[in-house]
């Protein structure tokens, strides 16, 4: 017997919370028919009576149903909101217990220089937030608007702790308490890249680099590493990039700086094989657009990533 669509959605939701399929079906049935016997529930969901009674016993232990203590043993579902509150509190208690137990096992192994792939947006953003929570001195961020918003609350908390937070942004954003650099060509850059990136380095000790599809629902590629060497190199590169926007603005009116900016532009040329590979993979435009697609800018011509 196939349950109707709303019930099927509810059953799937309960299964994700740790209920068996039979427990979820029995509980969902009772929401629509309170005061039913175990036999009636088994008939209603089309399951064997013995198995249904076992599921009802499990639901009673979980606090999901109430069972009348008389010969009929009528069952009634605990209201959904009450059940979810119970589950939430139980999870919080289990989480605290797990945290204490895991702390006794030991922390991360020092000297792990490996680079790890992250596969899901949830994993990427939680890793980024966890990194920022551990920051002691400085957090550097290079991010598109949606990705930045996903971690902004944690960045604000870091600022309140006295951590230096510097952000390279591609759209106007609240700069309260942070060292903010908004790329003046941010709209063009965002239009050219079909997705969003979030790059973070914390205390020059660990870094995360990630590129999402538009909507932040899929990760094209994301890596994290606690390698001191790799993290410090990226820290230096991102710190320089955060300042370079202001330097480039000054170069427009300074004959001494313009040749240096031109030299930098040549080093970061968009005809490099790596950039062409990015264009091919992520569709950043045709050949003519690529020549104007670099992140750096010449005095009279904006170029971007």
The CA–CA distances, whole Å, from 275 to 140, 233, 268, 281, 290 equal 23, 20, 9, 10, 9
pLDDT at 300: 38
| Structure tokens given for 154 | 């944690």
Listed residue (67, 19, 27) closest to 44, CA to CA: 27
Q: Identify how many contiguous H helices and E strands the chain contains and give both numbers.
A: 12, 9
pLDDT at 84: 92
- Which tokens hold the place of 101? 């137990």
How much is the mean pLDDT over the chain? Answer: 85
Is the torsion defined by CA of 77, 82, 86, 88 positive or negative? positive
Classified as helix, coil or strand, 21 is: helix
Q: How far apart are CA 136 and CA 204, in angstroms?
A: 11
Least confident piece of the model among 51-55, 126-130, 183-187, 204-208 = 183-187
* pLDDT band at residue 286 using 50, 70 and 90 as cut-offs: very low
Q: CA neighbours within 13 Å on the CB side: how many for 220?
A: 17
Please provide the CATH number assigned to the domain covering 115-291.
3.30.870.10
Residue 230 has pLDDT above 70, yes or no: yes
Asked if residue 252 has pLDDT above 60, the reply is yes
Q: Report whether pLDDT(194) > 90.
A: no
Domain map of the chain by residue range?
A: 5-82, 115-291
CATH of domain 5-82: 1.10.10.10
pTM of the full structure: 0.66
d(C-alpha 215, C-alpha 198), whole Å: 13
């Amino acid at each position: 017997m196939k349950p109707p669509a709303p019930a099927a959605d509810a059953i799937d939701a309960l299964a994700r919370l740790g209920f068996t399929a039979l427990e979820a079906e029995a509980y969902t049935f009772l929401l629509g028919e309170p005061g039913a016997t175990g036999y009636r529930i088994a008939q209603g969901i089309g399951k064997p009576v013995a198995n249904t009674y076992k599921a009802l016993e499990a639901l009673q232990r979980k606090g999901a149903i109430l069972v009348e203590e008389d010969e009929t043993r009528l069952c009634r579902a605990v209201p959904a909101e009450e059940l979810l509150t119970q589950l939430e509190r139980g999870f919080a208690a289990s989480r605290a217990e797990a945290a204490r137990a895991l702390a006794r096992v030991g922390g991360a192994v020092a000297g792990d220089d490996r680079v790890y792939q992250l596969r899901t947006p949830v994993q990427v953003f939680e890793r980024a937030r966890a990194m920022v929570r551990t920051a002691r001195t400085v957090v550097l961020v290079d991010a598109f608007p949606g990705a930045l918003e996903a971690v902004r609350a944690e960045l604000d908390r870091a600022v309140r702790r006295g951590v230096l937070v510097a952000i390279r942004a591609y759209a106007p954003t609240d700069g309260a308490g942070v060292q903010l650099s908004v790329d003046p060509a941010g709209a063009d850059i965002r239009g050219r890249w079909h997705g969003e990136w979030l790059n973070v380095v914390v205390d020059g000790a660990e870094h995360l680099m990630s590129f999402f599809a538009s909507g932040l629902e899929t990760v094209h590629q994301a890596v994290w590493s606690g390698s001191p060497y790799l993290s410090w190199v990226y820290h230096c590169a991102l710190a320089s990039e955060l300042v370079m926007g202001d330097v480039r603005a000054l170069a427009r009116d300074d004959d001494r700086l313009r040749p240096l900016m031109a030299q930098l532009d040549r080093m970061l040329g968009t005809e490099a094989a790596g950039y062409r590979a990015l264009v091919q993979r992520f569709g950043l435009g045709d050949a003519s657009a690529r020549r104007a697609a670099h992140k750096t800018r010449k005095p009279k011509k904006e170029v971007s990533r």
